[in-house]
């Protein structure tokens, strides 16, 4: 019996060592330490960043109001480091209960700290879900149009639940007109549900239908956000059927709020009518010794055709 126990223990230890080695190898293979380059001349820097919601009814613990007080300085530092012309956010929500969006600590803070930016894809929370804003340089663009739809059988009903009845998930979008007379362009900002593959596929099919008129306009279109899917997946292939190309994002974009880079990118930058000239890059680093979110910001530089 002792021999069997020792043998079992030995194999358990070996198995744990093996799993540790696999995790280390995955972490290294999905890690990037890219320098922060300046945007090329006459380019447009597009970014996406899932910043995680804040729990308004909790004062301590992960994602609480107290935790936000610790994270907000690093969040602003990450925002400034990305230096995007247009950046789409997901989970920019201060969550109490229900759909009440009257408080948005992250949005208010970033706008206060960065007066050169304004927010598109926002409005009265009772009429416009404002937890996926798109921030842009106010001196460079004006917003010509904006809107939203939910990944649901009733996509135009605000806060409607997803196809299988899980929590609401949606797309926000805006059309930007450069103030220097350059071509107008569209940005659609999505966050697909993470648990259900069928929800993601149905959401992708709905996105295809809603993005088709934007593509048909002949103006450049960017499809960005947290797709909870990897390049090459059925979800991504469904979206690519529209003619949208997705930049091959290097390394992990989700890190478990621990800097653990165990699988490839799930946050993506898609485009049509534009040419990538630099990136994409993933900003896999702490700021002030803190992780601002459990995702990293992702960005790339484009020229509009």
Chain segment 103-157, per-residue pLDDT in tens? 999 999 999 999 999 999 999 999 999 999 999 999 999 999 999 999 999 999 9
Partners of residue 149 on adjacent β-strands? 171
Residue count (the chain)? 305
**Angle, in degrees to the nearest 10, between helices 65-82 and 105-113:** 40
Measure the CA dihedral 147/151/153/154, to 10°.
-30
Domain parsing of the chain, residue ranges: 31-304
Distance CA 83, CA 38 (A): 9
262-272: b (≥16 Cβ within 10 Å) or e: bebbbbbbbbb
Number of Cβ within a 10 Å radius of residue 53: 17
Q: pLDDT digit of tens for each residue in the chain (305 aa)?
A: 555 555 555 544 433 433 333 333 344 445 555 568 999 999 999 999 999 999 999 999 999 999 999 999 999 999 999 999 999 999 999 988 766 889 999 999 999 999 999 999 999 999 999 999 999 999 999 999 999 999 999 999 999 999 999 999 999 999 999 999 999 999 999 999 999 999 999 999 999 999 999 999 999 999 999 999 999 999 999 999 999 999 999 999 999 999 999 999 999 999 999 999 999 999 999 999 999 999 999 999 999 97
Fold held by 31-304? Deoxyribonuclease I; Chain A (3.60.10)
- Tell if the pTM clears 0.85, that is, is over it: yes
Distance CA 288, CA 73 (A): 8
């Amino acid at each position: 019996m002792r021999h069997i126990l020792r043998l079992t223990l030995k194999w358990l230890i070996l198995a744990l060592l093996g799993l540790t080695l696999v995790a280390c190898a995955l972490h290294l293979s999905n890690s990037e330490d890219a320098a922060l380059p300046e945007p090329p001349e006459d380019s447009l820097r597009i970014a996406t960043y899932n910043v995680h919601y804040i729990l308004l009814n909790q004062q301590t613990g992960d994602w609480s109001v107290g935790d936000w007080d610790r994270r907000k300085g690093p969040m602003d530092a990450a925002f400034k480091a990305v230096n995007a012309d247009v950046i789409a956010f997901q989970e920019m929500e201060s969550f109490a209960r229900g759909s009440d969006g009257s408080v948005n600590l992250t949005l208010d803070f970033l706008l206060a700290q960065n007066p050169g930016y304004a927010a598109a894809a926002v409005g009265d929370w009772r009429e416009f879900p404002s937890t996926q804003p798109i921030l842009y340089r106010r001196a460079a663009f004006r917003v010509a149009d904006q809107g939203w739809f939910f990944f649901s059988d009733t996509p135009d009903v605000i806060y409607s639940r997803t196809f299988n009845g899980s929590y609401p998930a949606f797309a926000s979008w805006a059309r930007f007109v450069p103030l220097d007379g350059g071509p107008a362009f569209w940005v659609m900002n999505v966050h697909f549900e993470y648990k259900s593959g069928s929800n993601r596929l149905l959401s992708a099919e709905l996105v295809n239908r809603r993005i088709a008129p934007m593509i048909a306009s002949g103006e450049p279109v960017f499809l960005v956000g947290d797709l909870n899917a990897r390049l090459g997946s059925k979800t991504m292939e469904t979206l690519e059927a529209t003619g949208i190309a997705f930049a091959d994002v290097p390394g992990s974009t989700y890190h478990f709020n621990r800097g653990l880079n165990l699988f490839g990118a799930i946050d993506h930058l898609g485009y049509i009518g534009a040419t990538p000239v630099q990136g994409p890059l993933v900003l896999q680093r702490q700021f002030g010794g803190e992780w601002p979110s459990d995702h990293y910001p992702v960005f790339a530089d484009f020229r509009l055709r």
